[in-house]
Structure 1
Amino acid sequence: MDNKKDIGALIELSDWSNPDFGRYGNIDELSDMILNKRIKHIDKDKIELENGLVLTIECSEADCCAGGGGTFEFAEYGIPIDALITDFVIGKPIEVPDSDTIINRNTITLFHNQNPIVLANAETDAGNGGYYYSVTSLVVGEIHFPFVKA
């Protein structure tokens, strides 16, 4: 797991961050929840694991007109997949040029053995003029794992 911290990490949020949806998790919880779990179904909006957990990408927090979201990228949607999630890598957020606001993107790559099998792509923005904020997370069950903010 050490290589994940060198590449990217979950976003650290301020103490004032108090989402109404539930709670944020940490990297160890994410590892416990998804590693060595078999993927049952995948489409652009969600991943279902064999143990019943569902993974989505959602805007966890936003104010005013800021927002975020994302999709899962998989080469063959709808095709049954026989793979365990054996590793994951959180990328480093990148800023997307925009003349009106701040937009950031990030990706979490899920692996089966050494092969990337799913990309969790997220984008989030700071609203009109870049004066606001948003946080986008990989959601596993009810726990949000933030990986990009603006």
Structure 2
Amino acid sequence: MATPPPHHQDAEPSGPAHAGPQPDGAQGAHGAPPVPGPRGRRPGEAQGGRFLVPGLLLALAVPALLVIGPLTDDGPPTLTVGQCVRNAGSWEEQDLRVVDCGAANARFRVTRQLREGESCAPLDVTSDSRFSADKWSPHCLTPLRGH
């Protein structure tokens, strides 16, 4: 019976299965490119790096939107017949705000949208045309009783 040749501990294993990690740009065994590490990472590449930048952007975006959101102005409200409003400005510089008709600060009800040549009732006030959908036709605002 033949005995196998002695195995030397100093000898390096050969073949692609034993190529081991190679520095960037180095070739593996038999000129093949190095085998990537787990999950497609190259040896020495940081773990979780692909989530770092999106995570940071998300962490910065949420507080920024909370600060910027209230600063944006959608413009004046578009009035419709039946709504109630209050004027937070002067009548020359109207700042009409739509409010619940039962609210203590409700002062006027939108009763009509004027067409060319029409006018409001004697005690009504007229809204600025920028509060209409077409930005041209004003509305009649009738004072609520008791106000």
Larger Rg belongs to: 2
Give the number of the structure with larger relative contact order, counting CA–CA contacts within 8 Å between residues 6 or more apart. Answer: 1
With normalisation by structure 1, the TM-score equals 0.20
Larger relative strand fraction: 1
